[in-house]
Structure 1
Amino acid sequence: MMNRFSNPVLMKELKLRFRAFKSFSGLMFYLAVLCIFVVGFLMIYTQFSGTAFFRPSDSFTMFSVLSVLQMALVMFITPGLTAGAISTEREKQTLNILLTTTQSSTQIIVGKLVSSVVFLILMLVAGLPLYSLVFLFGGVSPSQYVTIFLFYLVTLIAIGSIGIMFSTITKKTIVSMIATYGAMIFLGGITAFFFFIGVSMDQMATGYAGTQNLMPFSPITYFWVSINPGALMLSILYPEITNTIDSLVGISFPIWVVYLIFYLLITVGCLAIAIRKLRANMKTNR
């Protein structure tokens, strides 16, 4: 029974990843960036206030900026860990040997993804002592951090799945990384651009029709803002932003529900494509 659920690929990837010096150097760089930000934030705010006191409102501001910074670092690091998972094996000419083992395509893909996700979770957990300073000064509830952590988890799993998919369907790691970062730019930047364009067009349409008092209704604009990671994070940190979004699009449905469904579908779809194309690509490359 235990052999059925065992994944030698996952165990091998975990051992190699956690024994590598570059993994811990990357973790050190990640924590160094966060430490520099927290120390600098505390020094600047206490200096500008003229006292040694740090107010709870300032603590919440530090929590908000730290959460956004941590999300940016996660979105920047995740493609680098997953975009070369399969393509690197192909470039090293070890993928053929891996496919001749008794491991299924699902075990290989899931093992590669989970090993990367575990390391990313380690990075998030390693930043907990920095967040403890925020709880020390007050202004932030533990439920907010739990919500932010779940948001991180869903997002990085989806990004990792995208990287695994591109790593499987492309032959070169550099191409896979470019495609994955392009997907991140689309989800984080292009969707925000489409949202603002949609809001502007709706306001222009209501202005031309002379119906400024009517509530707009734009499902497409609502969809763009619902799948944007930055919009969801801001709505978690500042709940009043949700009311602003509702007034702009005319839909009062929680955006986190659409975000969760969309990114779960991305995760399942990308993993299904990667599993299906793993051995198909090898047949054509012999």
Structure 2
Amino acid sequence: MKGIIFNPVLLKELKLRFRTFKSFSGLMFYLSVLIIFVSGFLLVFTEFSLTGFFKPSESFMMFSVISVLQMGLVMFMAPALTAGSISTEREKQTLNILLTTTQTSAQIIVGKLLSSVAFLILMLIAGLPLYSIVFLFGGVSPWQFITMFFYYLVTLIAIGSIGIMISTLTKRTIVSMIATYGTMVFLGFITLFFYFIGLSLEQLFIAQNPNTAPFSPITYFWASINPGVLIVTLLSPDIKSALTESVGISFPNWIIYLIFYVLITALSLTIAIRKLRANMKTNR
């Protein structure tokens, strides 16, 4: 395990990624979006006056919106960092050279993934001073803060694994980017669309059969794997209760989310490792 995590591929990728202007500009874009939003939020709720008051309830609202916004930014930027990891090496004709080294397939894939995850974690850490404003006004517990960042980490690792897998299976970076962003659209929007469709069908069935209690596990599954729904239900117990009542299932949605994305991560990495040397006679 130590040889897989600490390997020359990871060290090389970290040096190259953190020294490029692209990484710097991406970090600046991320922080600029957060700064603009927080500044605008404070100005609106204080009525554009330096003497205005900011209530703890409004601070919690700002924390909630920032959490959803940050999850959206993570899902938007993670594919850009991982979708071209292997396909770019193939286009530059350096993949064959990399495969002839003593590095195993697992070391190459994990090294590429961890370098991207490290940069995304840096982005999350860079945004911590903005979150400190929330603690200044109160209304948010440290446990909520830790929980948000834990699920950010689970989500970005899963998205990074999907990007690495697609990059390994495809020969062109542009195709890999489109496929990875398509997967993000499915997880972020299509699953929510399926939830509303299933909920509408469930309500129609209940209207025709008044004595039937709501029970729709498939509909609940679509809502449970949606990152936005997870963040909202973690922040608002009322929304969580409404979700469970609408489908008739009281099983915690965060457990389904965690199991699903851990399985996706393991499956994606396994496929990427196995397919990296698919055309070679020996597989390291």
Coarse TM-score class (shorter-chain normalised): over 0.9
Deviation at 1:109, TM superposition (A): 0.2
Q: Distance in 2 between matches of 1:39 and 1:254?
A: 35
Deviation at 1:266, TM superposition (A): 0.2
Q: Taking structure 1 as reference, are residues 139 and 273 closer, same or farther at Cα in structure 2, changes over 3 Å only?
A: same
Deviation at 1:5, TM superposition (A): 6.1
- Show the counterpart of 1:176: 176
Q: Taking structure 1 as reference, are residues 233 and 10 closer, same or farther at Cα in structure 2, changes over 3 Å only?
A: same
Instruction: Return 103-112 or 59-68, whichever deviates more.
Output: 59-68
Asked if 1 retains the 8 angstrom alpha-carbon contact of 2:5 and 2:111, the reply is: no
Asked if 2 retains the 8 angstrom alpha-carbon contact of 1:63 and 1:134, the reply is: yes
What runs of 5+ residues in structure 2 fail to find an aligned partner?
Answer: none
Deviation at 1:49, TM superposition (A): 8.4
Q: Does 1:205 pair with 2:227?
A: no
Q: Distance in 2 between matches of 1:83 and 1:216?
A: 40
Deviation at 1:40, TM superposition (A): 1.1
Asked if 1 retains the 8 angstrom alpha-carbon contact of 2:198 and 2:219, the reply is: yes
Q: TM-score, normalised by structure 1?
A: 0.95
1:188-244 CA-partner distances (Å, limit 9, x unpaired): 111111111111111101111232xx4211111111111111111101111221111
1:107-141 CA-partner distances (Å, limit 9, x unpaired): 00000000000100000000000000010011111
- Show the counterpart of 1:65: 65
What runs of 5+ residues in structure 1 fail to find an aligned partner?
Answer: none
Q: Taking structure 1 as reference, are residues 202 and 48 closer, same or farther at Cα in structure 2, changes over 3 Å only?
A: farther
Q: Does 1:23 pair with 2:23?
A: yes
Give the root-mean-square deviation of aligned CA atoms. Answer: 1.7
Whichever residue aligns with residue 28 of structure 1, its letter is: M
- Show the counterpart of 2:118: 118
Q: Distance in 1 between matches of 2:270 and 2:127?
A: 32
Instruction: Return 2-11 or 124-133, whichever deviates more.
Output: 2-11
Asked if 1 retains the 8 angstrom alpha-carbon contact of 2:4 and 2:107, the reply is: no
Report 1:152-231 matches (<5 A).
Answer: 152-211=152-211, 214-231=212-229
Q: Distance in 2 between matches of 1:264 and 1:2?
A: 21
Deviation at 1:20, TM superposition (A): 1.1
Q: Distance in 1 between matches of 2:162 and 2:105?
A: 16
Asked if 2 retains the 8 angstrom alpha-carbon contact of 1:162 and 1:267, the reply is: yes
Whichever residue aligns with residue 37 of structure 2, its letter is: F
1:128-186 CA-partner distances (Å, limit 9, x unpaired): 00000010011111111100000100000000000000000000000001000111111
Whichever residue aligns with residue 130 of structure 1, its letter is: L
1:59-109 CA-partner distances (Å, limit 9, x unpaired): 111111111111111110000000000000000110010000000000000
SS of structure 2 residue aligned to 1:280: coil
Whichever residue aligns with residue 174 of structure 2, its letter is: I
Asked if 1 retains the 8 angstrom alpha-carbon contact of 2:224 and 2:256, the reply is: yes
Whichever residue aligns with residue 200 of structure 2, its letter is: S
- Show the counterpart of 2:273: 275
Whichever residue aligns with residue 269 of structure 1, its letter is: L
Asked if 2 retains the 8 angstrom alpha-carbon contact of 1:215 and 1:247, the reply is: no
Q: Distance in 2 between matches of 1:5 and 1:72?
A: 28
Whichever residue aligns with residue 272 of structure 2, its letter is: A
Whichever residue aligns with residue 198 of structure 1, its letter is: G
Instruction: Return 201-210 or 47-56, whichever deviates more.
Output: 47-56
SS of structure 1 residue aligned to 2:102: coil
Q: Taking structure 1 as reference, are residues 2 and 257 closer, same or farther at Cα in structure 2, changes over 3 Å only?
A: closer
Q: TM-score, normalised by structure 2?
A: 0.95
Deviation at 1:12, TM superposition (A): 0.5
Asked if 1 retains the 8 angstrom alpha-carbon contact of 2:78 and 2:160, the reply is: yes
Runs of 4+ deviating beyond 2 Å: 1-6, 48-51
Asked if 2 retains the 8 angstrom alpha-carbon contact of 1:217 and 1:251, the reply is: yes
Q: Taking structure 1 as reference, are residues 101 and 153 closer, same or farther at Cα in structure 2, changes over 3 Å only?
A: same
Q: Taking structure 1 as reference, are residues 266 and 19 closer, same or farther at Cα in structure 2, changes over 3 Å only?
A: same
